[in-house]
Amino acid sequence: MTYDTDLLVIGAGPAGSVAAWEAKRTAPDLDVVLLERDAVVGQPVRCAEGVGDAGLREFADPDGAPWVARKITQIVFVAPDDTEVRVAERAVAWILDRTRFDAFLAERAVALGAELRVSTEAAGMTCEPDGRWRVRLRGVMGEHYCRARVVIGADGVEAMVGRWAGLDTRVPARDMESCAQYVLAGIDFDPDSIYLQFSDRIAPGGYAWIFPKGPGVANVGLGLVALKADGRNARQYLDDWIARRYPRGAKTGCTVGGVIVHTTLRQTYTDGVLVAGDAAHMINPLSGGGIVNAMKAGRLAGRVATAAIRAGDTSASRLSAYHAGWMALLGDDHLKYYRLKRALEGLDDAFFNSLARTANAILPEQRTLGRIFAHALVRHPQLIPVAARFFL
Amino acid sequence: MLDAPDNGRYRWRMRPAPPEIAVVDLQLCDRCGLCLPLCPPEAIHLRLADLVVDRSVCTGCRKCIAPCPVGALTMVPA
């Protein structure tokens, strides 16, 4: 069986659902199909679920929303020796309930007329002589095909759509964070703060995090670069950290996954195909955050795809507007963040311990990120080349 | 025979058979997909929600072994 559509979006995460929503918003007359491999949109959660306030508000209002788990007002950096540095800025961020949030985004696309199919996996695709893509699908309906003018690959870290379309989606090992996370209950922390701990012993090449979901309950996890690890895998590192920090915590959920801390794919488009979100390596390489980036890319992809379909030209040269738009929006910044990430890799635990002492010597109400940075440059001259690589 | 097309990018290359190749323990594997973009010859696929390593494509480079967050990938004699 084969059915035809104008736009096929593969993956109903933040990138895919926003792409489908934006496509229906800008072109209500076009057919949009949104595929999800798993049986339930938003499950399993492979995410620490933290998101910045400003970026989130471009897409949805978090105040009182059912898909919010917790409002965050403070960031606490934790040095390798457990010294805590509370930053003075009242940073607002949100910890989402991704299961509900992803369902909310998909629902919004469906409300505008997109067709959502769950339990349906893309298994391969070929380009037809007329330029349309014929995508092989497997799901509850058995094996069938969908022919589409444009395919948006929002299929996450595995990025098979890009691979099938001939894009190089591979990642060097040093730019892959191996992550593990528990939902930990019955633990003691400030539920209005997120905690980030940097240490080669705890999470080499990455960091460990505590993202509150409510009083006493948090996403507790870490990401590390396996090349720098001592032979333990990410889950073993996490078990050891939790055994030391929260031996009495109840592990009520567990997840693992990969976060690509690289720069955007050299090419995120080809004839009739766009890739967005994790699949296009659009994660902030310094923070590892990718939810808002994925939604921004999805919005852009949805717009460019519908305009191309309307114009009857879905060639790579027409779709390249998507790549240019993304690079101007965030992609070029990611090049800078990536250079900074690589420069910071050279600093060790002793440095971060002394940096924490420098920061805590500043009065708490004056301890802004800018002031910490200025003091650090004076006290730790080894930071000057790091700063130079970021700003030059 | 694997049914996902790999664009033929690596099929043409003559190489000696590797002494060891990667295998996945599906009891441990969480299907997170982390190893797929790490594989230089793109030998790893997710198929019907199960991870598959294509024995004929794996070069035994070990790049997927340590990054697996749960240690589900190991090397075995080819």
**pLDDT at residue B45 greater than cutoff 80:** yes
| Chain A residues close to B68, C-beta within 8 Å | 178, 233
* DSSP string covering B2-36: --S--TTTTTT---PPPSEEEEE-TTT-----TTG
Per-residue CA distances from A349 to A59, A197, A346 (Å): 39, 11, 10
pLDDT tens track for A306-348? 999 999 999 999 999 999 999 999 999 999 999 989 988 888 9
Q: Quick check: helix, strand or coil at residue A109?
A: helix
Residue type, A244: R
Counting one residue from chain A and one from chain B, the pairs whose CB atoms sit within 8 A come to: 93
Q: Is B54 in the A-facing interface, judged by CB distances under 8 Å?
A: no
CA distance linking residue B53 with residue B59, whole number of Å: 11
- Residue of B3, B25, B29, B38 to mutate for A, most A C-beta atoms under 10 A: B38
pLDDT of A33 over the 70 cut: yes
Lowest mean pLDDT among A114-123, A239-248, B6-15: B6-15
The per-residue pLDDT for A276 is 98
Q: In what order do the strands lie in the sheet with A93-96?
A: A50-52, A93-96, A68-72
Domain residue extents for chain A: 2-46+99-171+264-334, 73-96+173-260, 343-391
Q: A233 CB near a chain B CB, below 8 Å?
A: yes
CA distances in angstroms from B38 to A136, A177, A254, listed in the order given: 24, 11, 23
Banded pLDDT at A140 (limits 50, 70, 90): confident
d(CA A80, CA A202): 8
CA distances from A344 to A165, A352, B27, B33 (A): 35, 11, 37, 27
- Please name the member of B6, B46, B69 whose beta carbon is closest to the beta carbon of A180: B69
Single pTM value for the model = 0.94
DSSP strand pairing (A120-127 vs A133-139): antiparallel
ipTM of the complex: 0.92
Check pLDDT > 50 for residue A275. yes
pLDDT on residue A306: 98
Q: What residue ranges define each of the domains in chain B, with the CATH number in brackets? A: 25-77 (3.30.70.20)
Phi, psi of A31 (to 5 degrees): -85, 130
Picking from A1, A339, A359, the residue whose alpha carbon sits closest to that of residue A145 is A1
Tokens in use for A27? 């072109």
Q: Answer yes or no: is pLDDT of A288 > 50.
A: yes
pLDDT category, A95, cuts 50, 70, 90?
very high
Determine the pLDDT at residue A392: 62
| CATH code of domain A73-96+173-260 | 3.30.9.10
Establish whether domains A2-46+99-171+264-334 and A73-96+173-260 are of one fold. Answer: no
A42 to each of A288, A299, A313, how far by Cα in Å?
19, 19, 33
Residue A99 tokens, joined: 């299961």
The domain made up of A2-46+99-171+264-334 has a fold known as FAD/NAD(P)-binding domain (3.50.50)
